[in-house]
A and B are shown apart, each in its own frame.
Chain A
Amino acid sequence: AQSVSQHNHHVILSEAASLELGCNYSYGGTVNLFWYVQYPGQHLQLLLKYFSGDPLVKGIKGFEAEFIKSKFSFNLRKPSVQWSDTAEYFCAVNEDSGYSTLTFGKGTMLLVSP
């Protein structure tokens, strides 16, 4: 069974600081990778996804993530965070050969102070 681990449960940054959230997965086969975000009081929404091709993927709101297959990692980055990035971030994976059900990490709560 696959699993997803997110390195930090809580991250506190000041505005304009750079962000990197770690995500590692365990599965030996081909996977598809996702980052979802949940802003306060809102539902989960997709930030970005990787299926194939360029391992550096760009998403909405200036976020990007890099898939490093040898490290089983899919870390999320943003060069300069804003107060409005305060949210919970979830890394998720599904198996390319299976159903499309997602396995999520436990999430990282990001608090950006103005």
Chain B
Amino acid sequence: DTGVSQNPRHKITKRGQNVTFRCDPISEHNRLYWYRQTLGQGPEFLTYFQNEAQLEKSRLLSDRFSAERPKGSFSTLEIQRTEQGDSAMYLCASSLGGIAYEQYFGPGTRLTVT
């Protein structure tokens, strides 16, 4: 399968713990996006990379959230000191450069904070 992959698919954690998610984009895609989706809502943009540079961050991305994309390949999203409000589906997408290109989404990581 050459699509976008995300790991883990599900994560249950206790409040206050740190969690890290991984996204592997389609190999030739230089753009990578993170979105968050809660029940009854559409995906909301979190952050965006072009190659290894993080070019945009949403104000939704509090100080507890950090994302990296070392070497412009896979990306990680870390949430520190998780809160119950962080429970959501975290989606990763990738695309070729330029606005005209389709974003391909991964299956998501469902986070449940107890």
Residue contact A105 to B42, C-beta cutoff 8 Å = yes
Q: Inside 8 A of B41's CB, which chain A residues have their CB?
A: 106-107
Q: Is A46 an interface residue (CB 8 A)?
A: yes
Residue contact A45 to B42, C-beta cutoff 8 Å = no
Select which of A44, A92, A101, A105 is within 8 A of B91 by beta carbon: A44
Residue contact A51 to B100, C-beta cutoff 8 Å = yes
Given contacts A43-B105, A44-B105, contact A104 B42 (CB under 8 A): yes
8 A-B residue pairings within 8 Å (CB atoms): A44-B93, A44-B105, A46-B102, A90-B43, A99-B48, A100-B31, A100-B48, A106-B41
* Chain B facing A: main interface SS: loop
A residues within 8 Å of B by Cβ? 4, 9, 32, 36, 42-46, 49, 51, 90, 92, 94, 96, 99-107
Q: Inside 8 A of B40's CB, which chain A residues have their CB?
A: 9, 106-107
A94: nearest residue on chain B (CB-CB)? B99
Residue from the set B42, B48, B102 with the largest chain A CB neighbour count within 10 Å: B42
Q: Tell me, in angstroms, the Cα distance from A29 to B31 when the chains sit together.
A: 23
Residue contact B106 to A106, C-beta cutoff 8 Å = no
Q: Tell me, in angstroms, the Cα distance from A36 to B103 when the chains sit together.
A: 10
State the 10 A-B residue pairs at the shortest beta-carbon distance, nearest first: A104-B42, A44-B105, A100-B99, A101-B45, A43-B107, A46-B102, A43-B105, A104-B43, A90-B42, A107-B42
Residue contact A106 to B108, C-beta cutoff 8 Å = no
